Structure 1
């Protein structure tokens, strides 16, 4: 089954809003095993939207449109879809009631007249309840073609898709599609693909797809079968082989688990507490850790010691170390990790110091970062030379710090 994405909104064309919906929907459609050959963005123009929709319906089985379902005059998606698919608009009483209830529980005293436009739906359409806004989702079917209309705000689109559209599309698939995610840290996408070329070239079912993330590589293994059990059996040997090849580079096989979740899980498992000592990352590492539910069980304290004075005062880094080797050095990173543990009594401390740029420090280049991890009276220090702008260097530092923490726990506690 072929699916096409159409994003509606002049603000998208002008770059005022980043189109995260397309990325999200593309990944979900791939998970369903749907084929996708086109993604289109069109402005709030009736004629152009009509032409885009006609073309999309001509070459695809399902067209998913996002945006343009609001109450204002330039919100045209529903009206154009109804016109193209030969359907008239009629008021849906249930949607009207939901709009009334939505405003009743909001800070607004009155319902603007233009909001009642959102209660008009194409005749015969399947109406999808939107529990996070006033614009319902819609599914229109005609002559074997389907148009799915979703609101533009991600906070409305995602839950609506997960709860109602995903199951709808899943039922229309003739085969069962099952995917398994494997997430790695420690190797680049090209390195990972090179080690998997024999599997990638030698198999058509399951298929293996690689995705490059910041300092991570994600693998999606997808199998098609006539039933769920058969799909699982097809996945098992491939997943096992990949895990054997990459060992501790694999930090999770769960779709929803992030590297910080994997770290917190390991800390809990071994009843360890952690402290962070950060310079160039400015608290990003501790922020990632405390984003995880249950982090309070393992997270002791976080230090942001951006200046040399703070490093001396908070982490007891020697003045002579800073003078001789500099703030960005293996020696300073090591003393930061030691100082973090002694200051808080935590079992583990992860410390980071580096040059995020854009200006280098003497002979030390932008992107030079030292990461240290204290655990069991040992301090392991890694040197990195990251590429990219300031934001990218800091992001890579955070992931590598979490990964060093993860690997240190594994090497000390896993047999």
Structure 2
């Protein structure tokens, strides 16, 4: 069964709001074995909306339409559908009563244009909207079921959950459930990951494998269908992790900072940071997580040489002899942060974010120091390409990568 989702509203095309409705519907449809083949967004133009509906009817079994059911002149979903389906728009008595009741309950005067929200396609099935005003509707056009839904997410979700999904289960022979899992990796490039799994990717059928690049990490989306979808996913995941599991940090929506936090919690450790070019970006990510106080004592932002000396107590002779952008300075920053914060592990960042060189070094040079427990500090040197913001961002991600792998190794 093929389905697609259409979002109606110029605000979607202008980027004023994100089409989270399509994301939610797609995810929920997978639980019912309904595949989504297309996502579309169309502006508030009746000809284009009608054409989009016509195209959808030619290629899909079910079409979910969100938005365009409001009271204003640019809410054109009903009119476009009426024109394409050659179905009269009629006023639904119960929907009008709900709308009038809404205004009365809120002690507001109902303007005439709000009656428009009670208009429905003659011959369709009305979906009463208990969360808002405009009703939804199911309408069969040729061999395609159109599901018209309000654009307000809370209203759409309630209609889908309480009325649309039960209708589909009762009236359609649905496929077995579709299951999907996103495996996330760090410290390995997309091309290397694909190379290591090439035979699995080339021979894929069910489950399918799709490598995806991210900002500093890479992911593999596994998708399986059928009665044994969960078992198929688990088996393939095991095989993949046997090959590249050293770089795996979690599944689905987990971030690398959440993975680091999880290990810190498991091992009962506290971490902190001393940051120069990253300006607090590293510690901000960690502190943003729920429960951060259990694993994070704090951090220092020491941007200038004077701040490094006075706040972090980096000896003047290190800065005078080697500079702030150096292995020696990064090591001392990590050592002193660990000591001053009285923590188990500290990470430090120093380097040149640009746009101009500093201390004779080109933009992109970054030193990251790690100091854990009684072990000596270790420092890694990197060159990152890109703008000032990209260099800083990549340094933060690399810091989390280093910390993640280090934490996995220690007792």
Which interval holds the TM-score relative to the shorter structure?
0.7 to 0.9
Structure 1 position 302, deviation (Å): 2.4
- Find the aligned partners of 2:305 and 2:366 in 1 and give their Cα distance: 16
Is there any run of 5+ residues in structure 1 with no aligned partner, and where? none
Deviation digits for residues 389-412 of structure 1, max 9, x if unmatched?
233333322222122111111111
- Find the aligned partners of 1:166 and 1:376 in 2 and give their Cα distance: 57
Worse-matched range after superposition: 171-180 or 210-219: 171-180
Structure 1 position 184, deviation (Å): 0.5
Corresponding residue number in structure 2 for 1:9? 9
Deviation digits for residues 18-77 of structure 1, max 9, x if unmatched?
745488369738956655554444321111211122112212223344443444322323
Corresponding residue number in structure 2 for 1:374? 371
TM (norm. structure 2) is 0.83
Structure 1 position 248, deviation (Å): 2.6
Deviation digits for residues 283-303 of structure 1, max 9, x if unmatched?
222222122221121111122
Considering only CA atoms, is the larger Rg found in Structure 1 or Structure 2? 2
Structure 1 position 347, deviation (Å): 1.2
- Find the aligned partners of 1:51 and 1:45 in 2 and give their Cα distance: 10
Distance 1:73 1:281, change over 3 A: farther
Deviation digits for residues 139-192 of structure 1, max 9, x if unmatched?
544444233445557x65896699569957995641221222211101111111
1:12-411 equivalences under 5 Å are 12-13=12-13, 15-17=14-16, 19=18, 21=20, 24=23, 28=27, 35=35, 38-85=38-85, 86=87, 88-91=89-92, 92=95, 96=99, 100=103, 104=106, 110=108, 113=111, 114=113, 117-118=116-117, 120-122=119-121, 123-127=124-128, 130=131, 140-149=139-148, 156=154, 171=169, 173-225=174-226, 227=227, 230-253=228-251, 255-361=252-358, 363-378=360-375, 379-411=377-409
Distance 1:373 1:117, change over 3 A: farther
Contact 1:205 1:223 in 2 (8 A): yes
- Find the aligned partners of 2:361 and 2:134 in 1 and give their Cα distance: 54
Structure 1 position 360, deviation (Å): 3.3
Contact 2:26 2:36 in 1 (8 A): no
Structure 1 position 216, deviation (Å): 0.7
Contact 1:64 1:150 in 2 (8 A): yes
Worse-matched range after superposition: 204-213 or 367-376: 367-376
- Find the aligned partners of 1:97 and 1:8 in 2 and give their Cα distance: 25
Worse-matched range after superposition: 282-291 or 4-13: 4-13
Distance 1:246 1:44, change over 3 A: same
Is there any run of 5+ residues in structure 2 with no aligned partner, and where? none
Worse-matched range after superposition: 121-130 or 366-375: 121-130
- Matched residue pairs, number? 400
Helix, strand or coil for the counterpart of 1:331?
helix
TM (norm. structure 1) is 0.82
- Find the aligned partners of 2:50 and 2:23 in 1 and give their Cα distance: 24
Structure 1 position 219, deviation (Å): 1.1
